Amino acid sequence: MMTIEEKIAIPSDNDQLEGLWQPGTGDRGVIITHPHSLYGGTMHNPVVEVIQNAYRQNGYATLRFNFRGVGGSQGDFDDGIGEQNDVRAAIAAAQERGVAKVALAGYSFGAWVNARLIAKDPIAGASMLMVSPPVGFIEFGDVSALNSLELVVTGSQDDIAPAEQISALLPIWNPDARFDVIDGCDHFYAGHLDKLQAILTAFLQNEQAQ
């Protein structure tokens, strides 16, 4: 019988964040981060839900949450700085619930926050996936080697995460990371969510088989 997501509170700095937690079948879990807090991004974003579904179907515990100042999460937007502490807090919450192997999966702003955190504070054993890292919108200059980065996905029509700019940065981030570009897709994945789901599912199935 499939479990459903449980609402949880995550302490981060002096705030409480709201999250949705779903147990997995083993000790792997993923923290999923959402698009830009000031542009309507929340943990209920359709792309975030696709990411959560792909990991859930592959047996991962999943934890998606609202950054500080979003929805029912306390605090105020902190330009990606305090949000890194929110990711740390979510990792701790997952570990408290039995997750030993933590993955990070972020979409747009959430991918940037994850990358900045991992670039300066690598998490042992972490794997990372980025959907449309917003290199055409936010400066990634302080993001260097991302040894845990395994997959990047964007759309051929994504002007916020342009494929050519991502391709130029991949040798710096991780030259071994897989890079998939969805033809005809823009930053919001309307009409392409099924394709994104298929890419993520195939990637995770291959990872599980290794």
- What sign has the CA pseudo-torsion 206, 203, 200, 126? positive
Measured in degrees and rounded to the nearest 5, phi and psi for residue 17 equal: -100, 150
Structural domains counted in the chain: 1
Q: Would you call 10 helix, strand, or coil by DSSP?
A: strand
Does residue 7 fall inside a structural domain? no
Q: For 100-115, how does the pLDDT look when each residue is reduced to its tens digit (9 = 90+)?
A: 999 999 999 999 999 9
DSSP-derived 3-state class of residue 117: helix
Q: What is the DSSP letter of 123?
A: P
Query: Is residue 2 in some structural domain?
Result: no
Other Cβ atoms within 10 Å of 177 Cβ, number:
18
Distance CA 147, CA 73 (A): 31
Asked if the structure places residue 139 within a domain, the reply is yes
By the 8 A CB rule, do 73 and 66 touch?
yes
Structure tokens at 111: 């991918």
Is 32 contained in some domain? yes
d(CA 108, CA 138): 10
Q: Is residue 105 part of a domain?
A: yes
CATH number of the domain that 199 lies in? Answer: 3.40.50.1820
What percent of the chain shows pLDDT beyond 70?
97
The whole-number pLDDT of residue 66 equals 98
Q: What pLDDT band is residue 153 in, cutting at 50, 70 and 90?
A: very high
Distance CA 29, CA 60 (A): 5
Q: What is the pLDDT of residues 115-140, one digit of tens each?
A: 999 998 888 677 999 999 999 999 99
Residue 199 belongs to a domain? yes
Based on its alpha-carbon atoms, the radius of gyration of the chain, rounded to whole angstroms, reads 16
Q: Could you tell me if residue 129 is inside a domain?
A: yes
Could you report the per-residue pLDDT of 20-39, keeping only the tens digit for each? 999 999 999 999 999 999 99
Tell me if 132 sits within 8 A of 102, measured CB to CB.
no
Establish if 6 belongs to a structural domain: no
Instruction: Give just the sign of the alpha carbon dihedral 104, 43, 152, 81.
Output: negative
**163-207 pLDDT per residue, tens:** 999 999 999 999 999 999 999 999 999 999 999 999 999 999 988
Determine the Cα–Cα distance for residues 33 and 91; give it in Å rounded to an integer: 11
Query: Considering the chain, what percentage of its residues have pLDDT values greater than 90?
Result: 91
Q: 192 lies in which domain range?
A: 13-209
**107 pairs with which residues across the strands?**
131
Dist CA 113 CA 59 (whole Å) = 25
Q: Which amino acid is at 69?
A: G
